[in-house]
Structure 1
């Protein structure tokens, strides 16, 4: 889930179709997470990352990681798996503690955070377009949270919103690290996901005391999450950005919040009213403004 920039341009239709596949699969992630609510979030994280590692196995090949400095080796083999684990687990836990639509929308502000981080690391300062885009995007999230704030507070959902924001921060840092790394992370993705799966399994043992394989719909949803949003989607997105025009392909990702909100409403998970579409549009506009 990181924007990789390339000057190689193949058939524009191929790259657009690949990007649309990734966008559709990412849009289904909140609904699949809701279907797996009966499973422990950490155990669901481990199952999802394991399925994602299996789905991305065809990408795996030898990469000269040993040629990197010790700092970069540590960043790749420990930093990246920790960020993946943090993003996925925070997302799942956040959706248990807060309404799914609101938590998902907050997580999908990660492209704005990525743009701000990239600007700061490259120029040593934030550009006005990025700041304005971030304010617009987060105003969309605020629009969803406003009724709860006016009615006397967020209650227990506050922790869920904070975890959703943490997931967004993890994805932004992961994206920035993938862009800044001196080698492509995609060939390493199966192994990185396996390391993240091991971290999730260890965390489940420490915090929950045991590991139980989910059953029924939770098992199928967890496997689907790994194969789709955290497997095939990441492969398709990498191909789209490396074989197409990054500016065109990247703009398609901003449709994820809108499609995700629509699927949650269609499945009856969220209530249909004017706020989710307006909030999703504000997030999309903010991402477009920040990315200019």
Structure 2
């Protein structure tokens, strides 16, 4: 889930097709996570990351990270796996504590956070368009949360929303590190996901007390999450941005929160009211504004 900028070398429909594959797979993540709700979230994280590592294994090849210096070695082999683990685990936990559609919508504010981080690191300041876009995007989240907060109805969901926002921050920092890294990270992705899986296993043993494979529908959902949203989708997204125009392809990602919410509603796992589509539109508009 990281933007990469490169010139278009293939017909436009190649990149658009690959981007649409990634978008559809990302949109299915909240629905698949709901099917695996019976599995402890850290166990589900471990299964998902293991499946993602296996799905991306054909891309693995040796990359000389050592030549980039000790700082980048630590960032790649320690920082990025921790960010992946943090993003996936907090996303799953957040969706247990808060309504799935709303939590997913908050998590998918990560593109606007990535834009702000990139602007700050590159220019040493934030541009007006980025700030305005962030305000618009987060007004969408506020549209969902403020009425409940005023009426005192947030309750335990507050922690879930906070974890969903933490997942967005992890994806934004991961995306920035992926873009700034002096080496291509896609060939390292199987190993990075495997390290993140090991972290999830250790966290599950410490915090959840047991570690066992989920069964039935939950196991299939966990494998599907790893193969799709955290495996094939990440590869497809990287290829889409390398084959085509980053601005054209990148704009397609902003449809993820709308499609994710729609799938949850169609599956009967979320209730549709006017605030959910309105908030999704605000998030999309905000991301587009910030990314201009």
| Residue of structure 1 equivalent to 2:180 | 180
| Residue of structure 1 equivalent to 2:146 | 146
Distance in 2, Cα, partners of 1:23 & 1:208:
32
TM-score by length of 1: 0.99
After superposing on structure 2, the runs of 4+ consecutive aligned residues of structure 1 that deviate more than 6 Å are none
| Residue of structure 2 equivalent to 1:40 | 40
1:30 is the counterpart of 2:30: yes
Distance in 1, Cα, partners of 2:184 & 2:80:
12
| Residue of structure 2 equivalent to 1:257 | 257
Distance in 1, Cα, partners of 2:27 & 2:246:
20
Deviations 1:187-246 (A, max 9, x none): 000000000000000000111122011011110000000000000000100100001111
Deviations 1:36-65 (A, max 9, x none): 000000000000000000000111011111
Deviations 1:99-124 (A, max 9, x none): 10110000000000000000000000
Partner-residue secondary structure (3-state), 2:277: helix
| Residue of structure 2 equivalent to 1:6 | 6
1:229 is the counterpart of 2:219: no
Report 1:98-137 matches (<5 A).
98-137=98-137
Structure 1: unaligned runs, 5 residues or longer = none
Report the number of matched residues: 292
Two-structure CA RMSD over aligned residues (Å): 0.7
Deviations 1:20-79 (A, max 9, x none): 000000000000001100000000000000000000011101111121200100000000
Distance in 1, Cα, partners of 2:270 & 2:8:
41
- Asked if structure 2 preserves the Cα contact closer than 8 Å seen for 1:9 and 1:245, the reply is no
Distance in 2, Cα, partners of 1:147 & 1:266:
24
Higher mean C-alpha deviation, range 202-211 or range 220-229: 202-211
TM-score by length of 2: 0.99
1:153 Cα shift? 4.2
| Residue of structure 1 equivalent to 2:248 | 248
| Residue of structure 2 equivalent to 1:202 | 202
Report 1:159-178 matches (<5 A).
159-178=159-178
